[in-house]
Amino acid sequence: MSAKKTKTIKTIKIDVDKCNGCRACEVICSSFHAIPKYSNNNPARSRIRVIHEPLRDVYVPVYAGDYAVAECAGRDKYIIDGKEYDECAFCRAACPSREEFKEPDSGLPLKCDMCEGEEEPLCVKWCLVDALTIEEREVEIDDEEEEKRDEIEIGLESLVNRFGIDKVSDLIAQISKK
Ligand code: SF4
Ligand code: SF4
């Protein structure tokens, strides 16, 4: 049996009741991920989108999750305060059936990376009303799994060093569409 060790997982907790729809989270996220960094702030490039329901003034921040190769078969409907929301409204996936969470120029899927390299996710830092807060929890991890992940990371890093991040991203996007 392989040894277990623990690791701290950070997640962002969303308090919809506190969100006032200021969209500071969208602005800082798109700005942080702009190339060069902070050179523009187009919310269409943000990895967090704030869904707004104008009649009841409800705002729901949604984070970009994994890319889905195909539309899902079973869809959910949401009813909040008696209003029925579009079945895809709060979905986190970039998928072929909608435009959300896709880079507007290239169409490549976007995914929240928790602002890699930063001490704290910037959307959390910029949310002045604490609608977004960080939660930490300890989870057990498998040493063997960790080793495999390290190998994948090393392999990817050498590909990026050799061919550049754009070519590697294009290739991954092409493979995931197959
Ligand atoms: S920064 Fe906070 S309050 Fe403003 S839209 Fe984003 S989650 Fe809502
Ligand atoms: S954690 Fe960072 S990458 Fe993720 S949505 Fe917030 S600002 Fe964007």
Q: Average pLDDT over the chain, rounded to whole?
A: 85
Q: Is the pLDDT of residue 98 over 60?
A: yes
124 contacts 12 by C-beta, under 8 angstroms: yes
Mean pLDDT of the region 37-51: 93
pLDDT in tens, 129-175: 999 999 998 888 777 776 677 777 777 777 777 777 777 777 777 77
* Angle at the Cα of 67 from the Cα atoms of 131 and 93, rounded to 5 degrees: 40
Res. 71 pLDDT band, cuts 50 70 90:
confident
Count of C-beta atoms within a 10 Å radius of residue 163? 12
Domains contained in the chain, number: 1
Comparing CA positions, the residue from 40, 21, 22 lying closest to residue 30 is: 40
Query: Does residue 58 line the site of ligand 1, with CB under 6 A?
Result: no
H helices within the chain, ranges in order?
24-32, 122-126, 143-163, 165-177
Give the ligand at the shortest distance from the Cα of 45. Answer: 2
Instruction: Evaluate whether residue 154 is within a structural domain.
Output: no
| Residue 122 belongs to some domain of the structure | yes
How many A from CA of 106 to the centre of ligand 2? 20
Structural domain includes residue 162? no
Three-class secondary structure of residue 52 per DSSP = strand
Helices (H), 14-142: 24-32, 122-126
For residue 55, the model assigns a pLDDT of: 66
Q: 3-state SS string over 56-74?
A: CCEEEEEECCCECCCCCCC
Q: What is the pLDDT of residues 8-29, one digit of tens each?
A: 888 999 999 999 999 999 999 9
- Domain of residue 51 covers 4-141
Domain annotation covers residue 93: yes
Any domain includes 132: yes
User: Which ligand has an atom closest to residue 43 CA?
Assistant: 2
Which DSSP letter does residue 75 get?
A: -
Region 38-45: mean pLDDT is 92
Distance, C-alpha 66 to centroid of its chain = 7
Whether 12 is in a domain gets the answer yes
Q: Which of 3, 82, 14, 4 is nearest to 51 (CA)?
A: 14
Residue 88 lies in a domain: yes
Whether 129 is covered by a domain: the verdict is: yes
